Structures are given as C-alpha cells and as structure tokens.
C-alpha cells in the first residue's frame, strides 16, 4: 500500500497450506470513502473491566472511532452477511476491542485501497485498519501503531497450474495484483526479468474471481489473504509459493497530528494481547493455523 502488504513450493494439502501461510504472528485505494458500513457490533468485545477513557483521544465524532477499511479483504475485514452491514474479521475485531477499551464504538467506512491514504489525509476517517503493511515510505506521511501481524508475499494459482510455483515459472503468464499494494510492487518488480504481465485489480475478491474464470493465471498477494481464498475455493485454488524473507508487518495508520490516538491504539493492542483476546481473535479466523501471539 504504496502496497498493501507482502508473500510455497507446491504443497500437498490444504491443511499444510494453512499451516505455512498462516505461520506469521500475526498491504493502497480513492480519496472519498464509498459507504459507511457498520459499527462493528459483531466483533469480539474487549475485556469487561475496560478502563479506557475516550476524552483524551481526538476523533472526528465524539465517542466514535471512524475507520477507513478496504472491504472485503478476508479474513481481516469483510461483511458478516457477505454483502454489507456489520464488518467482521481480524482487523475489525481488534479495532472493536480497542474501541471498547476506550469506551467508544468503531464505525467502518468502506474505502478502496488505492485511495485510502488520501481519504485519511482528507479527514474522512480517524485511522486506517485495512491490512496495511508498515513501510518506511508510508511512515514519512503517517504514523503507525505497533505491528500486529507478520506476512509474506505469495503466489496463488488454480490447482491444475500447481507448477506455477515461483516467479520464473510465470513467463508468458498474466499475474493479478491489487493496485497500490506491496503485493503489486513485488509483482511488478519481477515482471520484466521473469517475462510475465501484471494486471492490477481494485479488489482482492475481483482477483480471485478472475483467477477462477481463467482471466489471469496467478495472483500475487499477502500470505493470509491468498491462503484464506484458497481454503474457501473447495480445492479449486492453491497457494503454490510463499516467498521467504522480506517479511512485512501490518499496522494501523493514524495521521501524524494525532499521537494520542496512536498511543491509545498501542495500549489497546497490549491489553488485548495480555488478556488473551488477541489470540482468541486470531484463532477464531485462522483456526489451529494461528500462530501464538
């Protein structure tokens, strides 16, 4: 985001794909948000003894944490009913938990990733929670919370194309990547040397649909996103490569002029981890493949 986030030799089973792809401890889109989608009531609540105080935290709306998020991007942010309404996922549940610690509610604004930083700068939201990789370039313009989930870049292909298991095997192929993400940066950086074409999409689900339809040959994207899509494809898709090294880490994005909010997010994250709620959230969405927090 910028690229959103970042990362197998061919794996023999979906279970092993999950075990490798989700081994991290836990990627960018228009300036005007599309829709106010939910207050996140379906998320995991913070501990009942929350002592947070929203009075010292500067937000657009008193008592509300307005969050720009590129929805859907499962398993981090997506609609509970598949179309609209309440937003659930790892990011959503964490933010709802932190908001509860502050005695606030979270309100998620659907915002395409290629304009999400511009939307934050325009004051359309207080923060970004959208699987955003922390990069030095992004940190020049914005503050980040402490990192909360590590990822790598990956290749996902149709099961029949399991041999597409490295950049060098993509010669002559069309590779999908999400615009303005680190995945797109990674894909484009290797395109010329390896002889493939990168086709950029606005949404993650659009890439999965195009892959299933044979409109592209592979998808390069963050490990948990490709891994989740593969496990939900009923065996049609698989993660064929996890790129070692160059690990990225997701963080929440806050304007530089709101350090109090950044500090509150960090404190909230620590409370969720200390209480065990953070690990419960990871296990809820990633199952047994969720690494210990």
Predicted confidence (pLDDT) per residue in 16-54, tens digit? 334 344 433 334 333 345 555 554 444 443 333 333 456
pLDDT at 288: 75
Q: How many CA atoms lie within 13 A of 211 on its CB side?
A: 33
The Cα–Cα gap between 107 and 125 comes to 9
Task: Give the Cα separation of 75 and 45 in Å (integer).
Answer: 18
Q: Could you tell me the CATH number of the domain that includes residue 42?
A: 3.40.190.10
Tell which residue, 100, 110, 93, has the closest CA to residue 40. 93
Q: What are phi and psi of 209, to 5 degrees?
A: -60, -45
Same domain, residue pair 41 and 137: yes
With b for 16 or more beta-carbon neighbours within 10 A and e for fewer, the 153-190 pattern comes to: bbbbbbeebeebbebebbeebbbbbbbbbbbbbbbeeb
Last residue of a domain, one of 242, 260, 281: 242
Please tell me the total count of domains within the chain: 2
In angstroms, the CA 293 to CA 291 distance is 6
- In terms of domains, do 39 and 145 share one? yes
Residue 191 shares a structural domain with residue 207: yes
Helix/strand/coil for 262: helix
Task: Assess whether 115 and 140 both reside in one domain.
Answer: yes
| Segment 259-268 mean pLDDT | 97
| CA dist 44 → 22, 93, 128 (Å) | 20, 5, 19
* 149-156 average pLDDT score: 97
Identify whether 283 is part of a domain. Answer: yes
90 & 167 share domain: no
Which of 203, 224, 242 is at the close of a domain?
A: 242
What's the pLDDT score for residue 292? 63
Q: How far is CA 264 from the centre of its chain?
A: 21
What value does the mean pLDDT take over residues 62-80? Answer: 97
Residue 42, in any domain of the structure: yes
With contact defined as beta carbons under 8 Å apart, do 240 and 155 qualify? Answer: yes
Nearest one of 178, 259, 1, 293 to 267, comparing CA atoms:
259
For residue 215, the 8-state DSSP code is S
What letter does residue 114 receive in the DSSP assignment?
Answer: B
5 domain residue, yes or no? no
Same domain, 48 and 106: yes
What is the rounded CA–CA span in Å between residue 207 and residue 201? 6
Please check whether residues 238 and 271 belong to one and the same domain.
no
126 occurs within a structural domain: yes
Q: Which residue has the tokens 């990192």?
A: 147
**Three-class DSSP category at 116:** helix
The distance between the two most distant Cα atoms of the chain, rounded to a whole number of Å, is 57
Distance between CA 7 and CA 16 in Å, rounded?
A: 16
Helix axis angle for 223-231 and 14-21, nearest 10°, is: 160
Angle at 265 between CA 247 and CA 97, to 5 degrees: 100
142 and 261 fall within a common domain: yes
Across 182-210, average pLDDT: 97
Is residue 29 domain-resident?
no
Range of the domain at 177: 14-24+151-242
Same domain, residue pair 159 and 269: no
Residues 146 and 258 in one domain: yes
Residues 40 and 130 in one domain: yes
pLDDT tens, residue by residue, 96-108: 999 999 999 999 9
* Higher-confidence position of 38 and 90: 90
Does residue 210 surpass a pLDDT of 90?
yes
- What 3-state class would DSSP assign to 97? helix
Clarify whether residues 41 and 102 are in a common domain.
yes
Q: Residue 86: how many CB atoms within 10 A of its CB?
A: 17
Residue 99: count other Cβ atoms within 10 Å of its Cβ: 30
The three-class DSSP label of residue 209 is helix
pLDDT grade for 56, boundaries at 50, 70 and 90 = confident
Please report whether residue 2 resides in a domain: no
Is 6 within a domain? no
N-to-C CA span, the chain: 24
Asked whether residue 9 is domain-assigned, the answer is: no
Q: How far is CA 79 from the centre of its chain?
A: 14
Of 242, 257, 273, which marks where a domain is finished? 242
Output the pLDDT for position 54. Answer: 62
């Amino acid at each position: 985001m910028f690229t959103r986030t970042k990362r197998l030799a061919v794996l023999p089973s979906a279970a092993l794909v999950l075990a490798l792809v989700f081994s991290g401890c836990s990627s960018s889109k228009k300036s005007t948000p599309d829709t106010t989608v939910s207050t996140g009531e379906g998320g995991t609540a913070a501990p009942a003894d929350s002592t947070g105080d929203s009075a010292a935290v500067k937000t657009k709306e008193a008592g509300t944490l307005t969050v720009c998020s590129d929805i859907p991007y499962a398993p981090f942010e997506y609609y509970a009913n598949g179309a609209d309404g309440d937003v659930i996922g790892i990011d959503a549940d964490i933010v709802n938990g932190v908001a509860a610690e502050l005695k606030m509610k979270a309100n998620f604004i659907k915002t395409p990733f290629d304009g999400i930083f511009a939307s934050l700068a325009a004051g359309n939201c207080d923060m970004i929670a959208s699987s955003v990789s922390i990069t030095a370039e992004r940190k020049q313009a914005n503050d980040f919370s402490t990192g909360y989930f590590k990822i790598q870049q990956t290749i996902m292909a149709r099961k029949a194309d399991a041999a597409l298991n490295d950049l060098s095997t993509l010669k002559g192929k069309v590779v999908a990547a999400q615009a303005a993400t680190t995945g797109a940066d990674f894909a484009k950086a290797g395109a010329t040397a390896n002889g493939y074409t990168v086709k950029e999409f606005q949404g993650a689900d659009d890439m999965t649909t195009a892959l299933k339809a044979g409109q592209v040959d592979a998808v390069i994207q963050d490990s948990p996103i490709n891994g989740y899509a593969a496990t939900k494809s009923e065996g049609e898709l698989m993660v064929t490569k996890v790129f070692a090294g160059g690990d990225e880490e997701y963080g929440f994005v806050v304007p530089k002029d709101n350090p109090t909010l950044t500090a509150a997010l960090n404190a909230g994250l620590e409370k969720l981890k200390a209480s065990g709620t953070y690990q419960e959230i990871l296990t809820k969405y990633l199952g047994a493949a969720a690494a210990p927090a």
